[in-house]
C-alpha cells in the first residue's frame, strides 16, 4: 500500500493445450461500492498483473474494525469464448511483527494496519479424530465461538493438519488472525533423506500457494517445539545425535517462502528466541511452568529442571512470567457431564474409576490433582471433580491472561492451549468434543473483552485496581470496587473516575487489604469490580483461594420459561459458580458457570446450535456445594 492506494499483484498460471488460439484474461476486483478491472493478453504459461485500488477499505480483526473482503474474478477467454473462471475473496491490509520497540526493547507485537494489537486467542487442534467425518458446520460453530469469546487469533498447531479451506475462509470472514505452523511437531525428521526432503518441498509449496491469499494468515512458523525440545534434551544428556529436521526449518522452508510468500514473517519454531528457545526475553514462549512444573528461566546448556509439587505447578506462577508473546499455556479440566456420560458406562462414572483415568489426556494424571489441591482442594466425588477441575482451569487462565494483559505492551499476546477437542475426556480444551463450553470459555468471554476491569492481589497485600483498554478510543468511566459479605451486605466500596488512553493498560489505584476488609474475615467476603455505567463486565475476586473460603450452602430457585428458552436463577446467599446443565450437545448459553449475589436474579437464554428442541426434563442447576435447584415452570411472555 502507498498512501490511499493499494496495489494488488496477481500471478496467473495458464495451461494451454490448444496453441493456435488467442487467449485473453479478464480480471476484476469488486465489493459493494466499486469495481476495478483489466484485460490482458496471455502469451505464455505465467502472467503477472497489478490492479490498483484507490481508497481501499481495509481488512481488520473483528475487535478493531470490519474484516472487509473484496472479490476477485479471473475469466480466461480463447478466441473470445470463456473457457475457465476462478473467483475468490481476499482482504487488503498491512501486517508486520514488531520485534523491538522505539527504544530498542525486545517485543513480539503484531501490527495490523499500523495498529499494535494484543493477540488474544487459543491454539487450534483437529476438530475430530476422524477428520473427514467433520462437517463444515463444526468449523463455523467453533470459530464463531472463538469470536464470541473476544478472541482475535487462532494458532493452527503443528501437530495437527493444514486445515480445510473452510477454516481459513471463516477466519477471513469473521476477522480472526491465524498463526500457521507447518506440520512438524515434537519429533525428529529425516532431513538427510533426499526423497523425504523432496516430499517436504512439495508439501510446503502446495500449502503456501493454497493459503497465502487469505488476509487472516498472519505468520508462518516452522514447527512446534522441535528446536526447544532438542536443545533441552541435548543439554540434559538424553541425546547426542544431530538435530534431524534442522535443515527443514532453517534452510528449506525460508528459501521457499522467500520465493512464494515474502510478505509474511517466517518464524523458525514455536517457542523460539533468546538464550533458550523458550526465553522470556525474546520471541514467543510456551509457559509450561504451570501444569508441567518446568522451572524457569533456564539458559542454553542447562538441563530442564521440574518442580513437581503443588507450588511448582500452581497457576500463581503465571505472575512471574515476563514473556513477550505467550503462544501456549493452559491446564486441564473435565468435559461437561453430558459429554462424559455419553461415553462412560454408568458403573464407571465415578471419581477415580479406570474409565475416567483412561479419558485423561496427559501421561501424568496427578498434575490436575496438584493444581486442584492448591486451589479448590482435592475432590471427593464425581460432582466435585467436574466442578473443581473446571473452576481451577477457569480461575487459573483468568489469573494468567489478566497478568499478561496488564503487562502490555511488554507482553503482546496470550494464546491458550487449547480451544477445541477431538475426543471426549479430560484435556486442556475450553470447549469439549460435543461443542459444550467448559467454565473457562465463559470466563474467556470476560477476560478477553477489549475493556477489562481487573484486580491484582495476593493475600496480605494491597488490592491493586487496573483497567486494560484494547480499544482504539480513550476509555472514560466511573468504576467501583465493592466488598460484600455472603449475605450481600456491603462491607466496603470506593469509586474512581477513570480516563485510560486507547490501546493501553493502567493501574488506577491500590487499597490496603485491611481497609478493604474493614475488620471482616477474608474468607467470608468477596470483591466485585464494576463499571457504574455498565460499559464493562463485572469482575469477581476473592481474598483467599477457594479451598480456604467459607462459602455458605446456597438454596437456588429457578424459573423456567420454555417458550422463550430462558431460565432465571436466584439465590438466598452468595452462590459460587452457578452451573446450568441440559442433556444435549452444542448448547448455546448466554452465560454459564457464573457467581451470583443474593437479591439479584440472573436470566440466561439457552439455544441449541442445530435448532433442536431443548430437553427441559433434564435441566439441572447447581452451585458449588449446593443441592440441585428447585424448578418452577412459567408461561412465556
Dihedral sign (CA 229, 235, 236, 242) = positive
C-alpha span between 385 and 70 (Å, rounded): 49
**Rounded distance between C-alpha atoms, residue 326 and residue 314, angstroms:** 17
Alpha-carbon distance of 10 to 50, in angstroms, equals 6
Map residue 78 onto helix, strand or coil: strand
CA separation for the pair 498, 125 (Å, rounded): 40
Q: Which of 163, 169, 225, 373 is catalytic?
A: 225
- Pure H helices in 61-211: 136-148, 165-174, 194-211
If residue 28 lies in a helix (H) or strand (E), which one and from where to where? strand 23-30
The burial of 490, by beta-carbon neighbours within 10 Å (0-12 exposed, 13-18 middle, 19 or more buried), is given as exposed
CA 469 – CA 474 distance, rounded (Å): 8
Determine whether 66 is an active site residue: no
Largest CA distance in the chain: 94
Contacts of 35 (CB under 8 A, 6+ apart): 28, 29
- DSSP E strands: which ranges in 533-596? 539-542, 556-561, 566-571, 575-581, 587-589, 594-596
Question: Positive or negative CA dihedral for 316, 280, 272, 93?
Answer: positive
Strand segments, DSSP code E, in 450-601 are 451-456, 463-469, 475-485, 490-500, 504-511, 525-531, 539-542, 556-561, 566-571, 575-581, 587-589, 594-596
Q: What is the CA radius of gyration of the chain?
A: 26
H or E element that contains 229: helix 226-235
In the beta sheet, which residues pair with residue 123? 155
Annotated catalytic sites, by residue? Answer: 225
Amino acid at each position: 500500500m502507498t498512501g490511499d492506494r493499494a496495489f494488488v499483484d496477481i500471478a496467473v498460471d495458464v495451461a494451454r493445450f490448444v496453441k493456435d488460439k488467442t487467449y485473453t484474461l479478464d480480471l476484476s476486483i469488486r465489493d459493494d461500492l466499486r469495481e476495478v478491472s483489466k484485460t490482458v493478453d496471455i502469451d505464455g504459461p505465467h502472467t503477472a498483473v497489478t490492479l490498483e485500488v484507490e481508497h481501499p477499505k481495509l481488512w481488520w480483526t473483528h475487535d478493531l474494525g470490519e474484516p472487509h473482503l473484496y472479490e476477485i474474478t479471473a475469466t480466461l477467454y480463447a478466441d473470445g469464448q470463456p473457457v475457465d473462471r476462478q473467483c475468490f475473496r481476499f482482504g487488503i491490509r498491512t501486517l508486520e511483527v514488531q520485534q523491538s520497540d522505539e527504544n530498542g526493547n525486545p517485543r513480539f507485537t503484531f501490527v495490523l494496519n499500523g495498529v499494535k494489537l494484543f493477540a488474544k486467542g487459543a491454539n487450534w487442534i483437529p476438530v475430530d479424530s476422524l477428520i473427514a467425518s467433520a462437517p463444515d458446520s463444526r468449523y463455523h460453530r467453533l470459530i464463531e465461538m472463538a469470536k464470541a469469546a473476544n478472541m482475535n487469533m487462532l494458532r493452527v498447531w503443528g501437530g495437527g493438519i493444514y486445515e480445510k479451506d473452510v477454516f481459513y475462509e471463516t477466519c477471513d470472514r469473521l476477522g480472526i488472525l491465524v498463526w500457521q505452523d507447518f506440520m512438524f511437531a515434537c519429533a525428529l525428521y529425516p532431513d538427510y533423506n533426499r526423497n523425504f526432503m523432496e516430499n517436504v518441498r512439495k508439501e510446503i509449496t502446495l500449502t503456501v500457494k493454497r493459503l497465502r491469499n487469505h488476509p487472516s494468515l498472519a505468520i508462518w512458523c516452522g514447527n512446534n517445539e522441535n528446536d526447544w525440545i532438542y536443545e533441552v534434551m541435548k543439554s540434559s544428556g538424553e541425546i547426542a545425535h544431530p538435530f534431524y529436521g534442522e535443515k527443514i526449518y532453517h534452510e528449506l522452508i525460508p528459501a521457499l517462502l522467500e520465493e512464494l510468500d515474502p510478505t509474511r514473517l517466517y518464524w523458525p519454531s514455536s517457542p523460539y528466541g533468546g538464550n533458550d528457545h523458550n526465553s522470556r526475553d525474546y520471541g514467543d514462549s510456551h509457559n509450561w511452568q504451570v501444569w508441567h512444573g518446568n522451572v524457569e528461566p533456564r539458559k542454553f546448556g542447562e538441563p530442564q529442571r521440574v518442580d513437581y509439587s503443588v507450588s511448582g505447578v500452581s497457576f500463581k506462577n503465571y505472575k512471574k512470567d515476563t514473556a513477550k508473546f505467550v503462544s501456549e499455556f493452559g491446564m486441564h479440566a473435565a468435559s461437561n457431564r453430558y459429554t462424559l456420560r455419553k461415553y462412560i458406562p454408568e458403573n464407571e462414572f465415578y471419581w477415580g474409576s479406570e474409565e475416567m483415568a483412561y479419558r485423561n489426556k496427559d501421561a501424568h494424571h496427578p498434575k490436575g490433582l496438584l493444581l486442584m489441591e492448591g486451589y479448590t482442594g482435592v475432590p471427593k466425588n464425581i460432582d466435585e471433580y467436574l466442578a473443581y477441575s473446571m473452576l481451577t482451569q477457569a480461575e487459573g487462565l483468568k489469573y494468567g491472561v489478566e497478568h499478561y494483559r496488564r503487562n502490555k505492551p511488554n507482553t503482546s499476546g496470550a494464546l491458550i492451549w487449547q480451544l477445541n477437542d477431538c475426543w471426549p475426556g479430560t484435556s486442556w480444551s475450553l470447549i469439549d468434543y460435543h461443542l459444550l463450553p467448559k467454565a473457562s470459555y465463559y470466563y474467556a468471554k470476560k477476560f478477553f473483552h477489549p475493556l477489562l476491569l481487573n484486580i491484582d492481589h495476593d493475600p496480605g497485600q494491597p488490592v491493586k485496581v487496573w483497567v486494560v483498554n484494547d480499544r482504539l478510543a480513550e476509555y472514560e468511566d466511573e468504576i467501583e470496587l465493592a466488598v460484600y459479605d455472603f449475605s450481600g451486605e456491603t462491607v466496603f466500596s470506593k469509586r474512581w473516575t477513570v480516563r485510560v488512553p486507547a490501546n493501553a493498560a493502567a493501574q488506577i489505584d491500590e487499597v490496603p487489604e485491611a481497609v478493604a476488609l474493614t475488620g471482616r474475615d477474608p474468607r467470608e467476603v468477596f470483591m466485585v469490580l464494576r463499571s457504574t455505567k455498565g460499559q464493562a463486565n463485572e469482575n469477581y475476586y476473592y481474598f483467599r483461594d477457594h479451598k480456604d473460603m467459607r462459602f455458605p450452602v446456597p438454596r437456588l430457585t429457578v424459573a423456567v420459561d420454555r417458550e422463550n428458552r430462558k431460565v432465571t436463577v436466584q439465590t438466598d446467599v452468595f452462590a459460587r459458580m452457578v452451573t446450568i446443565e441440559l442433556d444435549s450437545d452444542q448448547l448455546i448459553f448466554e452465560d454459564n458457570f457464573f457467581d451470583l449475589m443474593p437479591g439479584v436474579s440472573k436470566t440466561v437464554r439457552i439455544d441449541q446450535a442445530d435448532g433442536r428442541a431443548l430437553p427441559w426434563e433434564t435441566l439441572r442447576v447447581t452451585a458449588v456445594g449446593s443441592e440441585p435447584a428447585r424448578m418452577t415452570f412459567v408461561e412465556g411472555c
